[in-house]
């Protein structure tokens, strides 16, 4: 290897301008691939984070109440019947405590929290708004939806008789911290709550709709004493949520859905983005490899005499092959390291100069180390691969002819 490396480096240094051009070419290609990959990764991560910021990864729902026909047609009979779907009212999940314990014990599940939620009205004086009343245990809920860090006013707390409401709802009803609102369910059950905190979930609709109260208050409002309507859970591996959900569904028989099912459209969009990124990556890689190959093809022609001399002095065909493979590898390695640095600069510039309406960077774009390492390794391998054809022609060169030139 020492021979091949020494000669490869000298050959590259000798063809200074040529080597420089192709290394810059590789760097540009690698920078584009790395930059786009990091950007899309950041964008997708950000999109998912925003989407899941107010969602649980896995949700257990109560079974829907179904109407069953009371008349069954026997063979040979016809039955005229009209089955109306039943109105769904807040219902508790059967045996939710043991179910929650079982889910919490499942590998891959990080946190579990019970929810008692239903629709209703928030009323203050003349103003009323339709809201979703969500009864929570703040500590365990916070581990699933980081509610505490979204509080913009007041104290993150749900005590009996207190409610946390969103920014928009507070504006709509004209309430501030310490003031009271009435929450009423469809079933005429109502209670008065003091506003303990105002939050911003980063989404106006949710800020208008969500009202957080204690689990107990919700249970009594919806008339499901001791019951819960949902169980929320978080997983470690975001994209294995559907597997975990399917597994739990199979094991417990409960109605369990993952975020991947409820956000199928978003995932499809992200997939399309991923495929486009791969295409860009693939074509850029191809162009870079063709560049390396063409430079080395020229180099073999230019170095005919030297190759002949080396062969005459005892270099084998295999050694000459390695000299050129090594050149491809070095170009790939040096180019990709430069490219990674360039990508880092581009990402920095992106986060500095492309700002959202709030003056903050649109989203965090960093160059993940594993991406940089992967790109460098792949580029080096592609360099070696691109050098294969030139290396072959260098090895095939007839030394006697090469020297005569």
Partner 1 sequence: MSERAELLRMSGVCKSYGVGTPVAAEVLHSVDLAIGQGEFVALIGPSGSGKSTLLNIIGLLEPMSSGEYLLQGRSVASLSDTELTRCRSDTLGFVFQFHHLLPAFSALENVLMPAMIRTGRFSDADRQHGLSLLDRVGLKAAADKKPGELSGGMQQRVAIARALVRSSPLVLADEPTGNLDTHSADEVFALMRQFNRDEGTTFLIVTHDPRLAQRCDRIVELVDGRVRPTDVHDMAASKA
CA–CA separation, 385 and 364 (whole Å): 35
Q: Which is nearer to partner 1, 245 or 310 (CB)?
A: 310
17 binds partner 1 (CB under 8 A): no
User: Is the separation of the CB atoms in 189 and 224 below 8 Å?
Assistant: no
74: which 2 tokens? 């026997």
CB of 316 to partner 1, least distance (A): 5
Binders of partner 1 among residues 291 to 350 (CB under 8 A) are 305-306, 308-319
Q: Which is nearer to partner 1, 6 or 192 (CB)?
A: 6
CB of 16 to partner 1, least distance (A): 11
User: Measuring CA to CA, which residue among 226, 230, 218, 238 is closest to residue 255?
Assistant: 230
Q: Which is nearer to partner 1, 73 or 400 (CB)?
A: 400
Task: Provide the 3-class DSSP secondary structure of residue 38.
Answer: helix
Residue 44 has a CB neighbour count (10 Å cut-off) of: 18
Region of 110-118, 204-212, 268-276, 392-400 interacting with partner 1 (CB under 8 A): 392-400
Q: Which is nearer to partner 1, 6 or 236 (CB)?
A: 6
Region of 190-198, 199-207, 217-225, 394-402 interacting with partner 1 (CB under 8 A): 394-402
User: Is the separation of the CB atoms in 232 and 144 below 8 Å?
Assistant: yes
2 binds partner 1 (CB under 8 A): yes
6 binds partner 1 (CB under 8 A): yes
Place of tokens 């594993």: 370
Q: Rounded to the nearest 10 degrees, what angle do helices 264-302 and 304-312 cross at?
A: 70
CB of 25 to partner 1, least distance (A): 22
CA–CA separation, 299 and 119 (whole Å): 74
User: Measuring CA to CA, which residue among 175, 185, 174 is closest to residue 217?
Assistant: 185
CB of 8 to partner 1, least distance (A): 11
DSSP result, 117-176: EEEEEEEETTEEEEEEEEEE-HHHHHTTS--GGGEEEE-----TTEEEEEHHHHHHHT--
Q: Which is nearer to partner 1, 169 or 334 (CB)?
A: 334
User: Measuring CA to CA, which residue among 163, 160, 90 is closest to residue 124?
Assistant: 163
CB of 15 to partner 1, least distance (A): 9
Residue 153 β-bridge partners: 198
Q: Which is nearer to partner 1, 290 or 400 (CB)?
A: 400
CB of 20 to partner 1, least distance (A): 16
Q: Which is nearer to partner 1, 11 or 199 (CB)?
A: 11
Region of 9-17, 60-68, 150-158, 377-385 interacting with partner 1 (CB under 8 A): 9-17
Q: Which is nearer to partner 1, 2 or 359 (CB)?
A: 2
User: Is the separation of the CB atoms in 340 and 372 below 8 Å?
Assistant: yes
Give residues in contact with partner 1 (CB under 8 A). Answer: 1-3, 6, 10-11, 13-14, 305-306, 308-319, 398-400, 403-404
């Amino acid at each position: 290897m020492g021979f091949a490396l020494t000669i490869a480096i000298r050959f590259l240094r000798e063809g200074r301008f040529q080597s420089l051009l192709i290394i810059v070419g590789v760097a540009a290609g690698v920078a584009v691939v790395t930059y786009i990959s990091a950007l899309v990764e950041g964008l997708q991560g950000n999109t998912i984070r925003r989407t899941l910021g107010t969602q649980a990864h896995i949700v257990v729902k109560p079974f829907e109440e179904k109407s069953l026909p009371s008349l069954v047609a026997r063979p040979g009979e016809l039955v005229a019947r009209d089955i109306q779907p039943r109105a769904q009212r807040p219902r508790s999940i059967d045996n939710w405590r043991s179910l929650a314990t079982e889910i919490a014990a499942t590998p891959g599940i990080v946190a579990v929290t019970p929810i008692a939620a239903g629709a209703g009205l928030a009323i203050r004086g003349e103003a009323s708004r339709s809201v979703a009343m969500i009864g929570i245990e703040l500590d365990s809920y916070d581990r699933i939806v980081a509610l505490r860090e979204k509080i913009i006013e007041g104290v993150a707390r749900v005590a009996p008789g207190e409610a946390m409401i969103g920014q928009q709802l507070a504006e709509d009803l004209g309430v501030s911290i310490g003031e009271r609102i009435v929450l009423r369910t469809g079933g005429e059950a109502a209670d008065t709550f003091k506003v303990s905190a105002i939050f911003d979930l980063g989404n106006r609709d949710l800020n208008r709709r969500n009202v957080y109260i204690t689990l107990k208050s919700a249970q009594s409002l919806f008339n499901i004493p001791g019951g819960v309507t949902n169980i929320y859970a978080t997983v470690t591996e975001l994209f294995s949520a559907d597997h975990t959900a399917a597994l739990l569904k199979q094991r417990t028989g409960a109605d369990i859905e993952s975020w991947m099912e409820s956000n199928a459209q978003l995932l499809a969009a992200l997939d399309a983005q991923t495929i486009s990124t791969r295409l860009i990556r693939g074509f850029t890689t191809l162009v870079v490899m063709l560049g390396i190959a063409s430079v080395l093809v020229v180099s073999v022609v230019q170095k005919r005499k030297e190759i002949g001399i080396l062969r005459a002095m005892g270099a084998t065909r295999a050694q000459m092959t390695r000299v050129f493979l090594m050149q491809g590898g070095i170009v790939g390695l040096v180019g990709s390291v430069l490219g990674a640095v360039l990508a880092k600069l581009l990402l920095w510039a992106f986060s500095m100069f492309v700002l959202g309406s709030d003056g903050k960077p649109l989203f965090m774009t960093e160059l993940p180390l594993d991406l940089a390492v992967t790109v460098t390794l792949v580029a080096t391998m592609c360099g070696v691969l691109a050098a294969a054809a030139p290396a072959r022609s260098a090895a095939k060169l007839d030394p006697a002819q090469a020297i005569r030139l």
